[in-house]
Amino acid sequence: MMLSGPRNLLWIVPLALLLASPAWKPALEEFLSPHGNLKVKTDNPAPDNSFVLTDVRLSRYENGQADLVLNAAKVQSGRRGMDSFMMQKVDALLFDKGKESAHITGGEGFYDGDKQILTLVDDASVVVKNSYDLRADVLRYLISYKTVKTAAEIFFKSRDFTVRGTGMSYNLENGAYRVGGRVVCDVK
């Protein structure tokens, strides 16, 4: 049986290349290898994208109207980079349809851009346009829902009553609120 025909000769070419590879492979590897000093320095860490700013004013707009204007004495980038900020001496104005609706203050704050949450600690307070005053050690403002929440002890005051309790949810758009835990209410 003799090998003849183009179909039978087709497998001989790869076989010949494989058998002759010890002769031509070193020359090809040298030709394809980079020349010069191309070593990558691995001792340098990734560039630092963190920042610290003082006397900062941040604004958030929704549908062309101001939604949040935040002033802070110091702002620095969070661990996740540009999507989170740590702040000191926070003073924020909240707007509803272009009109001021609430004033939020706190000693320290954290803004999570992914979840749209502003967290305030250290004597946090919210004063609403209808004279409601909410104070707690920790407050969270859920920007998407326009709701202030806390699980800490609260002191909620208006012209007609004072409420003390543990945990609260207050919707700034419709004025609905819920207080949890043991609630003490003083009505005037």
What CATH number corresponds to the domain at position 65?
2.60.450.10
Bigger pLDDT: 111 vs 8: 111
- Contact of 111 with 92, CB cutoff 8 Å: no
Task: Measure CA 74 to chain center.
Answer: 18
Give the domain range for residue 131.
Answer: 52-146
Quick: pLDDT tens for 120-158: 998 898 888 777 888 889 999 998 888 999 988 888 888
Residue 41 lies in a domain: no
Residue 2 lies in a domain: no
Residue 158 lies in a domain: no
Mean pLDDT of the chain: 83
Summarize the confidence of residues 154-180 as an average pLDDT.
85
Q: Name, in order, each residue with C-beta under 8 angstroms of 139's C-beta and a sequence gap of 6 or more.
A: 104, 106, 119, 120, 124, 125, 126, 148, 149, 150
- Which residue is it, tokens 């003073």? 91
**How many separate domains does the chain show?**
1
